[in-house]
């Protein structure tokens, strides 16, 4: 069944046809008005609906379709225009078609969003009951007009220049994963009206903190305009993390200041761009966590907000032989159709927009394995990768994959092509297991520490392909990782069914809070052990915001819906937290000052014939100071080792073409529950060793000579430095 007019009382105006047909999709100011272009291949008609300040609607019937595109020129309108689309066509749920012109739809290319979705029955294309479940089967088209419950797309334009991108080399990059709101919501020094906003993140207090810590890039949890899922709304919760995209071009309005929101979508965009500019001015890059694998419309019973109502079969992957339902590899109800030229164009246009107009420095792709599913399997030769690699804009920024999804064969750590870096899940799991005392082979741990050449070397990639992390937004915080054996997600109101059950955590003897000073000290020592391993590892380190100062979510390992004190950083620090913060800052600065800790190529073990050093670039010793034998490497109970970084063996030139000479370093690791004595290697590896890191927290750093015995306490790590000559 097809339909044409939803509300005869609202007249529809015929638009003029621009000459030529618009070359880009979306709505843009042109001459005396707006050029409009939207893809709706199966539609019988498309109306652009423009709303005045009083909310009155005027409809303009677009011309088309020309190769699936509906377009037109509408004179008399410009920047600030609030609009949406109504799409006419057949109602055929079994065929995956849910056209319903009673529903106002957001522009997939809209640069600004004004308002929020009011999750009422009216925003559903099919008839639903008060609980938002289908009220009839087969699904029947809803006659309710959704305009009263829907936000509007808004025409916006860039309005000022942005500071140039820092272009920080991968090898000197330190990533700080951050939530725009949670970072500054309680931050001292940030004015109350700016806290939890883009402007708050760009405030001098925030920028000064980031610079002092030593991070070079902030990786923002999703800032695309979002929509809360109905089941969260019912529980009085929100999608705090934002992995529920409503618009791939518009920044999330709720992260803007109240003043910007009151001025409208243009002011929200300006505030975001101002944040980027001020961070660039401080030398800090901005990486966006982007969700191009699914949208906020959920499964076939979800609301119709944009894509589903415009061209459902072209945007979403449908089940073969059952096209009412979605083929979902994301766990959210739907997956975008990566074999669709329309979807690929949308993603590429969005990425280019955020680089060229919003001037961000890179992207972290959520559930990136789904993006590689051109058909059923994950394909490293998919069209998505081809488009990224050949694009002269997107290929030049930092590209990070979350290399897994929930579909078959979705775990693809090490499986992405050159040009990409990856969240190294193998690194996270191995390092967690090693320090908590569970089974983790020493060779596997050694490989993670040395840059994971077993994962990335065979495809021609470098250590920078490995984004090393211990914790991220998804899971325990670093403090909770050493304080809880089990998740405690009661606040999510899902009966404990959400969040991972396998956390590779250890509570150090007591679950949760304790007054036991020995356990408290052990927990902070374990946090320092994790941070020391992270910073000493080859690759790119990533720290989750607040981990450097003991942030806790009280055992909640899935705080995606907790927009409250549970997720926001608590800046009221005690002595232990201040000490951890200083320790983390000193570690990051140590890495910054010493190139041997951030090599641009994989380390080589034995010295090469004719090399400038008689020592290997990296060498591994037993606590007795002897080289590891094959038998010692493969002892499953081995928890102690000593690692040598040869500062003289760095052969890459610096930016000026000069050969770099660095200090030598020894990392002494004792993950065992008892103390271990380490004998330092002979004088070939350095005469004098200064203690620069002691995770036991001893501020009295000692000096040692070759052959000395260093007493390393239980679950403790040392870094020793032999001055050679930077």
Can you spell out the DSSP letters for 39-97?
A: E-TT-SEEEEEEE-TT--EEEEEPEEEETTEEEEEEET--TT-EEEEEEE--EEGGGTE
The Cα–Cα gap between 340 and 510 comes to: 52
* Residue ranges with strand state E in 136-292: 152-154, 175-178, 217-220, 285-290
The Cα–Cα gap between 426 and 84 comes to: 45
402 is known as an active-site residue:
yes
CB 526 within 8 A of CB 482: yes
- Which one from 145, 366, 563, 664 is the annotated catalytic residue? 366
What's the Cα-to-Cα distance from 462 to each of 453, 455, 599, rounded to whole Å? 8, 10, 9
- The 10s digit of each residue's pLDDT in 220-279 is 999 999 999 999 999 999 999 999 999 999 999 999 999 999 999 999 999 999 999 999
Residue 590: band (very low, low, confident or very high) from pLDDT cuts 50, 70, 90: very high
- The 10s digit of each residue's pLDDT in 683-705 is 887 789 999 999 998 877 899 99
Neighbours of 726 (CB within 10 A): 12
Which range, of 73-82, 170-179, 286-295, 648-657, averages the lowest pLDDT?
648-657
Residues whose CB falls within 8 Å of the CB of residue 452, separated by 6 or more in sequence, listed in order: 414, 424, 426, 427, 463, 465, 466, 539
The Cα–Cα gap between 108 and 138 comes to: 28
User: Is 33 strand, coil or helix?
Assistant: strand
Which range, of 242-251, 299-308, 387-396, 646-655, averages the lowest pLDDT?
646-655
- The 10s digit of each residue's pLDDT in 608-657 is 433 345 678 899 999 999 998 888 888 766 889 999 999 886 656 665 66
Neighbours of 299 (CB within 10 A): 13
* Residue ranges with strand state E in 576-656: 618-621, 640-645
Burial of 327 (0-12, 13-18, 19+ CB in 10 A): middle
Of the candidates 389, 458, 448, 390, the residue with the CA atom closest to the CA atom of residue 420? 389
The Cα–Cα gap between 323 and 141 comes to: 17
- Mean residue pLDDT of the chain comes to 92
Q: Which two tokens stand for residue 250?
A: 């518009």
The Cα–Cα gap between 295 and 243 comes to: 8
CB 178 within 8 A of CB 209: no
Triad 676, 592, 606: Cα angle to 5°? 55
Q: Which two tokens stand for residue 284?
A: 């800090």
- The 10s digit of each residue's pLDDT in 478-525 is 999 999 999 999 999 999 999 999 999 999 999 999 999 999 999 999
User: Is 380 strand, coil or helix?
Assistant: coil
> 187's torsion region: left (phi>0), alpha (psi -120 to 50) or beta?
beta
- Which one from 402, 617, 663, 694 is the annotated catalytic residue? 402
Of the candidates 636, 716, 672, the residue with the CA atom closest to the CA atom of residue 440? 636
pTM: 0.95
366 is known as an active-site residue:
yes
pLDDT at 126: 97
């Amino acid at each position: 069944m097809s339909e044409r007019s939803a509300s005869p009382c609202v007249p529809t105006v015929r638009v003029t046809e621009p000459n030529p047909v618009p070359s880009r999709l979306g709505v843009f100011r042109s001459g005396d008005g707006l050029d409009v272009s939207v893809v709706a291949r199966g539609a019988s008609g498309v109306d652009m609906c423009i709303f005045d300040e009083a909310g009155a609607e005027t409809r303009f019937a677009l011309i088309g379709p020309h190769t699936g595109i509906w377009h037109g020129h509408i004179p008399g309108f410009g920047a600030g225009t609030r609009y949406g689309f109504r799409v006419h066509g057949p109602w055929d749920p079994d065929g995956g078609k849910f056209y319903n012109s009673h529903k106002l739809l957001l522009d997939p290319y809209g640069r600004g969003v004004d308002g929020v979705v009011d999750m009422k029955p009216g925003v559903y294309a099919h008839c639903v009951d008060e609980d938002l479940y289908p009220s009839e089967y087969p699904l029947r088209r809803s006659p309710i007009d959704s305009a009263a419950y829907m936000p509007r797309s808004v025409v916006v334009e860039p309005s000022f220049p942005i500071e140039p991108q820092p272009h920080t080399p991968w090898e000197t990059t330190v990533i700080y994963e951050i939530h725009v709101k949670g970072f500054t919501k309680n931050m001292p020094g940030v004015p109350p009206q700016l806290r939890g906003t883009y402007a708050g993140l760009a405030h001098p207090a925030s920028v000064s903190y980031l610079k002092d810590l030593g991070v070079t890039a902030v990786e923002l949890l999703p800032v695309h305009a979002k929509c809360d899922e109905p089941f969260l709304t019912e529980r009085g919760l929100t999608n705090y993390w934002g992995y529920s995209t409503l618009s791939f071009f518009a920044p999330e309005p709720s992260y803007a200041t109240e003043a910007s929101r009151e001025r409208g979508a243009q002011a929200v965009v300006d505030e975001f761009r101002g944040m980027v500019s001020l961070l660039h001015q401080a030398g800090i890059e901005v990486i966006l966590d982007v969700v191009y694998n699914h949208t906020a419309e959920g499964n076939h019973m979800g609301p119709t907000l944009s894509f589903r109502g415009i061209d459902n079969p072209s945007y979403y992957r449908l089940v073969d032989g059952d096209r009412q339902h979605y083929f979902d590899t994301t766990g959210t109800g739907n997956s975008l159709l990566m074999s669709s030229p329309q979807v690929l164009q949308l993603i590429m246009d969005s990425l280019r927009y955020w680089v060229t107009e919003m001037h961000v420095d890179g992207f972290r792709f959520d559930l990136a394995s789904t993006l590689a599913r051109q058909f059923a399997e994950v394909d490293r030769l998919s069209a998505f990768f081809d488009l990224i690699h050949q694009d002269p804009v997107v290929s030049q920024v930092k590209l990070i994959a979350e290399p897994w999804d929930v579909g078959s064969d979705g775990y693809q750590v090490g499986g992405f092509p050159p040009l990409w870096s990856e969240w190294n899940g193998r690194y996270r799991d191995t390092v967690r297991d090693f320090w908590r005392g569970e089974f983790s082979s020493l060779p596997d741990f050694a490989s993670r520490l040395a840059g994971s050449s077993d994962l990335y070397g065979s495809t021609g990639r470098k250590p920078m392909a490995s984004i090393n992390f211990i914790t991220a937004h998804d899971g325990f915080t670093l403090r909770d990782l050493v304080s809880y054996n089990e998740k405690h997600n009661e606040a999510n109101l899902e009966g404990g069914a959400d969040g991972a059950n396998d956390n590779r955590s250890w509570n150090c003897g007591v679950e949760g809070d304790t007054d036991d000073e020995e356990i408290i000290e052990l927990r902070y020592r374990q946090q320092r052990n994790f941070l020391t391993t992270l910073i000493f590892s080859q690759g790119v380190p990533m720290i989750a915001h607040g981990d450097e100062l003991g942030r806790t979510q009280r055992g909640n390992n899935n705080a995606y819906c907790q927009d409250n004190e549970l997720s926001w950083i608590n800046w009221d620090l005690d002595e232990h937290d201040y000490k951890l913060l200083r320790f983390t800052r000193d570690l990051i600065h140590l890495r910054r000052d010493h190139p041997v800790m951030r090599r641009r190529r994989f380390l080589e073990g034995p010295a090469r014939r004719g090399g400038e050093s008689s020592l290997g670039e990296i060498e591994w010793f037993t606590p007795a100071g002897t080289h590891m034998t094959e038998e010692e490497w493969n002892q499953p109970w081995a928890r102690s080792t000593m690692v040598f970084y040869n500062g003289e063996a760095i052969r890459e030139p610096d930016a000026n073409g000069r050969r770099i000479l660095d200090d030598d370093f020894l990392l002494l690791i004792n993950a065992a529950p008892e103390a271990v004595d380490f004998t330092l290697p002979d004088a070939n590896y350095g005469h004098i060793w200064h203690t620069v890191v002691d995770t036991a927290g001893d501020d009295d750093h000692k000096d040692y000579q070759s052959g000395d015995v260093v007493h390393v306490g239980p679950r403790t790590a040392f870094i020793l430095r032999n001055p050679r000559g930077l």
